Amino acid sequence: MIEVENIKVAIGAVDILHDVSLRLEPGRLVTVIGANGAGKTTLLRTLSNVVTPHAGTIRFDGRPTAGIKPHVLARAGLVHVPQGRQIVPGLSVRDNLVIGADRVAGLDRDAIAAGLEREFARFPVLKERQHIPGGNLSGGEQQMLAVSRALMMRPKVLLLDEPSLGLAPQVVTTILKALRGLADDGLAVLLVEQLALLALSIADEAHVLQRGRVALSGPARDLRKDRAVIESYLG
């Protein structure tokens, strides 16, 4: 679904990523863990073409994504839930949910209504609050909204940047369980997290990013047992 080969990314004069490669497949949840500043957010921004790599290739659905604008990629099903949730504060919860799906070719009024029902069933709190401004939701509710907004666009690949940031532990569990469920239903999920052990507990496969390089990769189950290794990499 997504193949990343040896990408190198610099922002300004600073090299952020060196020779990063990874693959995402439908039905698999892959996590990228690493300390602050390891390049996790830059990796996701590169996958969604906000940032352009100066070497290496990224393929989505078999085709190189170089030169495709972020909004076109998003409409085609490569949907990135950015860090900090980015809920438009002045728009209602419902408008926030629909704003992306409204722009996806092939999603008509009925498909959007069905999508809303599906997301309201997934996170019932969004249904209760659908008419209040998105900015008035709690952090956890905003994260649910951000995930649902992405799912409304019928993604093939879902990229998530630290969905746990600033949330209470039980909300984190709710969200991570929902992500596991999405992968089980056939979505390709890439989860970037600082809460390494939690991320490893739900992922199929993991990569540890350290100062812009993939320092360690493997089945999440194996990495999880290797706590000493994890802790030394994550600091």
- 214 forms beta bridges with 209
Least gap, CB of 119 to other proteins (angstroms):
14
In the list 1, 20, 93, 104, the residue contacting other proteins (rule: CB under 8 A) is 104
Q: Which stretch binds other proteins (CB under 8 A): 31-39, 93-101, 211-219, 225-233?
A: 93-101
In the list 3, 5, 8, 82, the residue contacting other proteins (rule: CB under 8 A) is 82
In the list 10, 35, 68, 91, the residue contacting other proteins (rule: CB under 8 A) is 91
The residue among 221, 171, 183 whose CA lies nearest residue 201 is 221
Q: Which stretch binds other proteins (CB under 8 A): 101-109, 124-132, 200-208, 216-224?
A: 101-109
Least gap, CB of 224 to other proteins (angstroms):
30
In the list 21, 86, 194, 217, the residue contacting other proteins (rule: CB under 8 A) is 86
In the list 54, 63, 103, 118, the residue contacting other proteins (rule: CB under 8 A) is 103
Q: Which stretch binds other proteins (CB under 8 A): 74-82, 177-185, 200-208, 224-232?
A: 74-82
Q: Between the CA of residue 125 and those of 131, 162, 226, what are the distances in Å?
A: 12, 21, 38
* Tokens describing residue 229: 């290794």
* Axis-axis angle for helices 139-152, 169-184 (nearest 10): 10
**72: Cβ contacts below 8 Å, ≥ 6 apart:** none
Site string for other proteins, 191-220 (x = CB under 8 A): ------------------------------
Q: Cα separation of 98 and 150, whole Å?
A: 10
Chain residues 124-163 in contact with other proteins, contact rule CB under 8 A: 149-150, 153
| Strand, coil or helix: 32 | strand
The residue among 49, 51, 60, 56 whose CA lies nearest residue 2 is 60
Q: Cα separation of 191 and 189, whole Å?
A: 6
79 is a contact residue toward other proteins (CB under 8 A)? yes
CB 182 within 8 A of CB 188: no
In the list 13, 36, 62, 90, the residue contacting other proteins (rule: CB under 8 A) is 90
Residue 62 exposed, middle or buried by CB count within 10 Å (0-12, 13-18, 19+): exposed
| Residues in touch with other proteins (CB under 8 A) | 48, 50, 69-71, 74-75, 79-82, 86, 88-91, 95, 99-100, 102-104, 149-150, 153
